[in-house]
Amino acid sequence: MPHNAFYAQSGGVTAVINASAAGVIAEAKAHPDTIGTLYAGRDGIIGALTEELIDITAESESDLAALLHTPSGAFGSCRYKLKSIEEHRTQYERLIEVFRAHDIRYFFYNGGGDSQDTAHKVSQLSEKMGFPITCIGVPKTMDNDLPITDCCPGFGSVAKYTAVSILEASFDVASMQRTSTKVFVMEVMGRHAGWVAASAGLARDERGMGPDIILFPEVPLDESRFLEQVDRVVAERGFCMIVVSEGAKDAAGEFLSSSGSTDAFGHAQLGGVAPVIVNKIKQHAGYKCHWAVCDYLQRAARHIASKTDVDQAYELGRAAVRYAVNGDNAVMPVVVRESDLPYRWHIDKAPLSEVANVEKCLPTDFISDDGFHITDKARRYLSPLIEGEAYPPYQNGLPAYRTLKKSVIPKKCAEFYDL
Amino acid sequence: MPHNAFYAQSGGVTAVINASAAGVIAEAKAHPDTIGTLYAGRDGIIGALTEELIDITAESESDLAALLHTPSGAFGSCRYKLKSIEEHRTQYERLIEVFRAHDIRYFFYNGGGDSQDTAHKVSQLSEKMGFPITCIGVPKTMDNDLPITDCCPGFGSVAKYTAVSILEASFDVASMQRTSTKVFVMEVMGRHAGWVAASAGLARDERGMGPDIILFPEVPLDESRFLEQVDRVVAERGFCMIVVSEGAKDAAGEFLSSSGSTDAFGHAQLGGVAPVIVNKIKQHAGYKCHWAVCDYLQRAARHIASKTDVDQAYELGRAAVRYAVNGDNAVMPVVVRESDLPYRWHIDKAPLSEVANVEKCLPTDFISDDGFHITDKARRYLSPLIEGEAYPPYQNGLPAYRTLKKSVIPKKCAEFYDL
């Protein structure tokens, strides 16, 4: 007797989280004896709490097919962290109430570390409350900070966007440096870990283009040493390309730029460190500087997504359903790297208990001794992740991204106001 | 008896100026009876003044073929404006001295309005000095502000990058708006004319995504009306997407953001209006905001170039040489639009005297009555310019852009220090 399933997207969206959704949908359809109707949460887990369940079968085949090439969270995502069961038991009970009302026995949670923690807690509580829910995580985060898995869907595409962008900018600045801009600073995402900043390093290959200096959150800025390095590079080659992580810190460990506000998870909302760096350089040496801040453009850039990333996102979505169908519970599919070159990988599973709330840091030996670039080891790890192009179809010169109808099914439970 | 030719890239580079170079090179090669050796100026016109002439024939065939897909100015460009002949006659005389020394009788100048003005002056002086130089302009500017021509090579690709980027960001913000960012501001280039900002409007199509509000340099910011509009949009759809031109001005006509420094042409160097707009919105309504500044990324983004733009850049380069070979002088090839849909165009020529120093403004009827968006007329004009994709080849996950050797030939003239 089949039971229904619930899929939700969580946290910051990526260029490929919808590809994972496509994988979940395709695989769920392949197991009609086990999985009945697949619902999606409107705006992530909030959709479960408010009983806003999107009927995926009501979407057209072509719209669902477009998930493979449409960035963002097609069903809506949210920054909303469930507290501990002790602190907020009613929320977990509510989830189970809604799941019970709709005969939902499979819960696929597509998100980062916080979301895997939530999936883990739901699985624990469902056991205690006697309503069995198979909880499977689907990894996602452009931050690339989930443990165990070789990499996280969403990261490879941001990495490709970042490396391509700084490569292109370096060609631009190189051709103008004699009479124009000498220093270019590009700000990328990465609060605590320099994964995205590191990916920019790939653009420095045998061509000698790309970034000269990368400022990682892991390396407190030694201002005078940094400014000396800028001077040296400008003297040597006429210009200097810099990539700075939004989470770059000063010697005292403070963010170089912080807007002072925090997001729903309590993390500081950052942005605008590029102009801070530019001002330091201008005051020091008076070079003409330009700067860019990529912000959401980098994580939404499906037009330049990594094929490796798209493939992995899709296959991880499919694997999540396969694990559920095979009777696994409280696990998350992960990518296991078999070799760097050629890049070979397969999918295995990891217990949610080992995934939840563990942050994978950028290894120390990925950063060069001077703290300003990446090592060959980092390059061997990162390079396969940006391999391959997976262009979306275009119409009228623009990517043929699609939106969904997102119609919700009739409610069966009482309203729930305790969000 | 063939004579030699000189090609130079000028001003801010684009994703497709090298495609024009490829067109010039291909066509010059096709007329060996008229054109002998084709030299390129190292760093633009400066290369002529300093007698740094790059021997294009010394470059490999494959490197030259890569010009078609490599952004930036492969021979180097410069921001360097020759003054009037009265003010700085020695510079013009020097150009003619160098041209005479190397039997250069064809001068192809690939740039915007200032450069076409220079080409025009050189043609006037060469006549007076009795050394005949055929001066042909090759249009280029992402600003799209050259007169007569339907559009300027470089603009279509920036327009495509801009429309794609704000489209993608709108999908991102739409999926997160319930619990996260409500307002996103993307800053694009455009000092005095809102061509690039207008191109963002293409992303607002029948899907209803893309920008809700566009701030043009042509429309002084009425702050309270703007903030009301933001409130209205957020109330209606939950979030608001804004594109702002770097040249946006306040009611008094002052740039909303100016770094205070100026470039070699005496234009104010701008940047950073996005955070200014965000601060106004935050202070007014406290919405969570994010912002991006595209800066050079937009004009260097060959990875998402418009095929229409690449084709036109290449054909205009070829046409410039054809006009020269056919005995034209002091002209610039221009694009003539025959129809919008399908977009049909051919190439004609315009006298440099009519091109030089004339700035084509964004037509008033391209901006909607409320001042916050584009009209259907603008859409009909802009849409064909972003049509088609012209992806570069990739290697190891990155575009296979190439750098040139840029070796200069032996000098024949005395040093020239009066730059």
Residue B412 lies in a domain: no
Q: What are the tokens at A96? A: 């189970």
Average pLDDT, chain A: 95
Residue A364 lies in a domain: no
**Cα–Cα distance between B22 and B66 in angstroms, integer?**
9
> In chain B, pLDDT over 70 holds for what percent of residues?
97
A143 as an active site residue: the answer is yes
Find, among B143, B153, B115, B159, the residue nearest to B247 by Cα: B143
Which of B43, B114, B143, B145 is an active site residue? Answer: B143
Residue B416 lies in a domain: no
Q: In the structure, what pLDDT confidence band is assigned to residue A311 with cuts at 50, 70 and 90?
A: very high
Residues B186 and B219 in one domain: yes
Does position A87 have pLDDT exceeding 90, yes or no?
Answer: no
Burial class (CB in 10 A: 0-12, 13-18, 19+), A244: buried
Distance of CA B182 to the CA centre of its chain: 32
Measured between CB atoms, does B173 come within 8 Å of chain A?
A: yes
pLDDT digits (tens, 9 = 90+) for A337-367: 999 999 999 999 999 999 988 899 999 999 9
CATH number of the domain enclosing B88: 3.40.50.450
Contacts with B209 from chain A: Cβ below 8 Å: 401, 403
Residues A167 and A295 in one domain: yes
User: What per-residue confidence (pLDDT) applies to B406?
Assistant: 97
Contact A293 B296 (CB under 8 A): no
User: What per-residue confidence (pLDDT) applies to B129?
Assistant: 87
Contact B79 A43 (CB under 8 A): no
Does position B126 have pLDDT exceeding 50, yes or no?
Answer: yes
Residues B211 and B278 in one domain: yes
Contacts with A169 from chain B: Cβ below 8 Å: 296-297, 300
pLDDT digits (tens, 9 = 90+) for B260-291: 445 455 555 555 899 999 989 999 999 999 99
Mutation site, A179, A184, A282, A376, interface B, largest B CB count within 10 A: A179
User: What per-residue confidence (pLDDT) applies to A263?
Assistant: 46
Residues B93 and B177 in one domain: no
Residues B194 and B134 in one domain: no
pLDDT digits (tens, 9 = 90+) for B35-65: 999 999 999 999 999 999 999 989 999 999 9
Does position A210 have pLDDT exceeding 50, yes or no?
Answer: yes
Residues B183 and B274 in one domain: yes
Contacts with A43 from chain B: Cβ below 8 Å: 178-179
More confident residue, A279 or B152: B152
User: What per-residue confidence (pLDDT) applies to B260?
Assistant: 46
pLDDT digits (tens, 9 = 90+) for B130-180: 899 999 999 999 999 999 999 999 999 999 999 999 999 999 999 999 999
Domain that holds residue A33: 3-141+303-358+388-399
User: What per-residue confidence (pLDDT) applies to B302?
Assistant: 98
User: What per-residue confidence (pLDDT) applies to A268?
Assistant: 52
- Specify whether the CB–CB gap between B217 and B243 falls below 8 A: no
Average pLDDT, chain B: 95
Does position B24 have pLDDT exceeding 70, yes or no?
Answer: yes
Measured between CB atoms, does B189 come within 8 Å of chain A?
A: no
pLDDT digits (tens, 9 = 90+) for B215-256: 999 999 999 999 999 999 999 999 999 999 999 999 999 999
Contact B9 A175 (CB under 8 A): yes
Contacts with B291 from chain A: Cβ below 8 Å: 271, 293, 295
pLDDT digits (tens, 9 = 90+) for B327-346: 999 999 999 999 999 999 99
**DSSP helix/strand/coil, A331:** strand
Find, among A22, A29, A57, the residue nearest to A408 by Cα: A57
Count CB neighbours of A286 within 10 A: 10
Residues A135 and A170 in one domain: no
> In chain B, pLDDT over 90 holds for what percent of residues?
89
B302 carries a ligand binding annotation: no
Residues A32 and A108 in one domain: yes
Does position A235 have pLDDT exceeding 60, yes or no?
Answer: yes
**Cα–Cα distance between B248 and B188 in angstroms, integer?**
10
Contacts with A394 from chain B: Cβ below 8 Å: 389
Residue B380 lies in a domain: no
Find, among B98, B222, B215, B114, the residue nearest to B166 by Cα: B215
Residue B366 lies in a domain: no
End position of a domain, from candidates B256, B277, B301: B301
**Number of independent structural domains in chain A:** 2
Residue B418 lies in a domain: no
Residue A413 lies in a domain: no
- Specify whether the CB–CB gap between B367 and B379 falls below 8 A: no
| b/e code B158-168 from CB counts within 10 Å (16+ = b) | bbbbbbbbbbb
Q: Are strands A344-351 and A3-9 parallel, antiparallel or unpaired?
A: unpaired
User: What per-residue confidence (pLDDT) applies to B127?
Assistant: 83
Find, among B191, B171, B194, B173, the residue nearest to B182 by Cα: B173
Find, among B156, B143, B137, B163, the residue nearest to B360 by Cα: B143
Distance of CA B141 to the CA centre of its chain: 2
Residues A34 and A105 in one domain: yes
Residues A215 and A257 in one domain: yes
Would you list the DSSP string of B348-392? EEEEHHHHTT-PPPPPGGGB-TTSSSB-HHHHHHHGGGG-SB-PP
Establish, for the pair of chains A and B, how many residue pairs have beta carbons separated by less than 8 Å. Answer: 232
Q: In the structure, what pLDDT confidence band is assigned to residue A261 with cuts at 50, 70 and 90?
A: very low
User: What per-residue confidence (pLDDT) applies to A120?
Assistant: 95
CATH number of the domain enclosing B280: 3.40.50.460
Average the pLDDT over B73-88 and give the result. Answer: 91
Which of A77, A164, A174 shows the shortest C-beta gap to B303?
Answer: A164
Does position A270 have pLDDT exceeding 60, yes or no?
Answer: no
Residue A22 lies in a domain: yes
Average the pLDDT over A50-59 and give the result. Answer: 95
Average the pLDDT over B351-373 and give the result. Answer: 95
Residues B229 and B240 in one domain: yes
pLDDT digits (tens, 9 = 90+) for A296-306: 999 999 999 99
Rg of chain B in Å (alpha carbons)? 22
User: What per-residue confidence (pLDDT) applies to B261?
Assistant: 47
Average the pLDDT over B297-312 and give the result. Answer: 98
| Residues whose CB is less than 8 angstroms from the CB of residue A113 and which lie 6 or more positions away in sequence, other chains included | A141, A145, A146, A355, A356, A357, A358, A359
Does position B94 have pLDDT exceeding 90, yes or no?
Answer: yes
Residues B160 and B121 in one domain: no
3-state DSSP helix/strand/coil percent for chain B, to nearest 5? 40, 20, 40
Q: In the structure, what pLDDT confidence band is assigned to residue A417 with cuts at 50, 70 and 90?
A: confident
User: What per-residue confidence (pLDDT) applies to A259?
Assistant: 46
Q: In the structure, what pLDDT confidence band is assigned to residue A67 with cuts at 50, 70 and 90?
A: very high
Which of B77, B303, B389 shows the shortest C-beta gap to A175?
Answer: B77
Contact B297 A296 (CB under 8 A): no
Average the pLDDT over A19-46 and give the result. Answer: 98
Give CA separation, A165 vs A203, A241, A248, B97, B379, in Å: 9, 12, 20, 41, 28
User: What per-residue confidence (pLDDT) applies to B259?
Assistant: 47
Q: Are strands A398-399 and A394-395 parallel, antiparallel or unpaired?
A: antiparallel
